[in-house]
Amino acid sequence: MKVKLLLTASLFFSVLTYAQTESGAGNSGTFSGSFYSNTNGFIRNTKIGATTPLYTQALSAVEGWFNANYTSKMVNVSMRYDFYHNSNLLQPNEPYSNSGIGFWQINKTADKFDISVGNIYDQFGSGSIFRAYWEPFIGIDNAIQGARVIFRPNANLTIKAISGKQKYRFSSFEPILKGVNIEQSLSTKNNINATLGAGLMNRTLDKQTMNAIADNINNYPLADRFVPTYNEFAYQGYATVYVKEISLSLEYAGKTSEAIQNQSFTQLQNKPGQFIQGNLAWSHAGKRGIGVNLQYRKLNNFEYRISPLENGLTGLVNYLPSITRQNTYRLMARYNAVTQYNNEQTMQADITYTHNDKNTLQLNGSYVTGYNNVELFHELYFDWLHQFNDKFKMLYGIQSVMFNQSILQGEAGAKNVYTITPFTEINYDIDSKRSLRIEAQYLSTKQDSGSFVNVLADFNVAPHWSFSAGDMINIIPNSGTDKINYYTLFAAYTEGPSRIALAYVKQLAGFNCNGGICRYEPAFNGVKLTLSSTF
Partner 1 sequence: MKKYLFILVMATLLNACKEDGPYIDFTPTKTPQQGDTAYFASAVATPQQRNVLLEDITGVRCPNCPQSHDAAKAISNANPGRIVILALHGFSNPVFTDPLITSGFGYPEFRDSTAEYIITQLLGNPTALPQGAINRKFFASESYRYIPYSKWSGYVNSELVLPTPMNLDITNSYNSSTREVTSVVKMECTQDVTDTMYLTVGITENGILGTQKGPTDTIQNYQHNHIFREGLTPKSGLRLNSPTITLQSKQVIVRVFKYNLPAGWNVNNCNIVAVLHKSSSRIEAMHCAEKKIL
Residues at the interface with partner 1 (CB under 8 A)? 208, 210-215, 217-219, 221-222, 225-231
Could you tell me the smallest distance in angstroms from the CB atom of residue 39 to partner 1?
34
Could you tell me the smallest distance in angstroms from the CB atom of residue 225 to partner 1?
5
Give the nearer residue to partner 1 in terms of CB position, either 150 or 217.
217
The C-alpha atoms of residue 128 and residue 318 are separated, in whole angstroms, by: 5
Give the nearer residue to partner 1 in terms of CB position, either 111 or 215.
215
Give the nearer residue to partner 1 in terms of CB position, either 215 or 357.
215
The C-alpha atoms of residue 210 and residue 523 are separated, in whole angstroms, by: 37
Could you tell me the smallest distance in angstroms from the CB atom of residue 212 to partner 1?
4
Cβ proximity of 493 and 526 under 8 Å: no
Task: Kindly report the backbone phi and psi dihedral angles of residue 308, in degrees, each rounded to the nearest multiple of 5, phi listed first.
Answer: -65, -10
Give the nearer residue to partner 1 in terms of CB position, either 233 or 459.
233
One-letter amino acid of 380: L
Give the nearer residue to partner 1 in terms of CB position, either 125 or 308.
308
Q: Please give the span between the terminal C-alpha atoms of the chain, in angstroms, as a whole number.
A: 29
Give the nearer residue to partner 1 in terms of CB position, either 132 or 213.
213
Cβ proximity of 235 and 124 under 8 Å: no
Give the nearer residue to partner 1 in terms of CB position, either 66 or 230.
230
Angle formed at CA 131 by CA 128 and CA 135, multiple of 5 degrees: 125
Could you tell me the smallest distance in angstroms from the CB atom of residue 245 to partner 1?
45
Give the nearer residue to partner 1 in terms of CB position, either 25 or 227.
227
Give the nearer residue to partner 1 in terms of CB position, either 208 or 481.
208
Could you tell me the smallest distance in angstroms from the CB atom of residue 16 to partner 1?
37
Cβ proximity of 66 and 503 under 8 Å: no
Beta carbons within 8 Å of 271's beta carbon, 6+ residues apart? 257, 258, 260, 301
Could you tell me the smallest distance in angstroms from the CB atom of residue 93 to partner 1?
16
Closest CA to 254 of 209, 307, 198: 198
Entry field: residues in the chain: 535
Residue 58 vs residues 43, 83, 138, 427, 502: alpha-carbon distances, Å: 11, 16, 20, 40, 20
Could you tell me the smallest distance in angstroms from the CB atom of residue 273 to partner 1?
19
Give the nearer residue to partner 1 in terms of CB position, either 256 or 488.
256
Report CA Rg, the chain. 25
Could you tell me the smallest distance in angstroms from the CB atom of residue 268 to partner 1?
11
Could you tell me the smallest distance in angstroms from the CB atom of residue 266 to partner 1?
10
Give the nearer residue to partner 1 in terms of CB position, either 225 or 298.
225
**SS3 assignment, position 276:** strand
Dihedral Cα 19, 22, 27, 32, nearest 10 deg: 20
Could you tell me the smallest distance in angstroms from the CB atom of residue 407 to partner 1?
21
Within 10 Å of residue 113's Cβ, how many Cβ atoms? 11
Could you tell me the smallest distance in angstroms from the CB atom of residue 207 to partner 1?
9
The C-alpha atoms of residue 77 and residue 13 are separated, in whole angstroms, by: 10
Q: What is the DSSP string of 181-194?
A: EEEEEEE-TTSEEE
Beta carbons within 8 Å of 480's beta carbon, 6+ residues apart? none
| Surface-to-core class of residue 7, CB atoms within 10 Å of its CB (0-12 exposed, 13-18 middle, 19+ buried) | exposed
Closest CA to 444 of 335, 327, 348, 326: 335
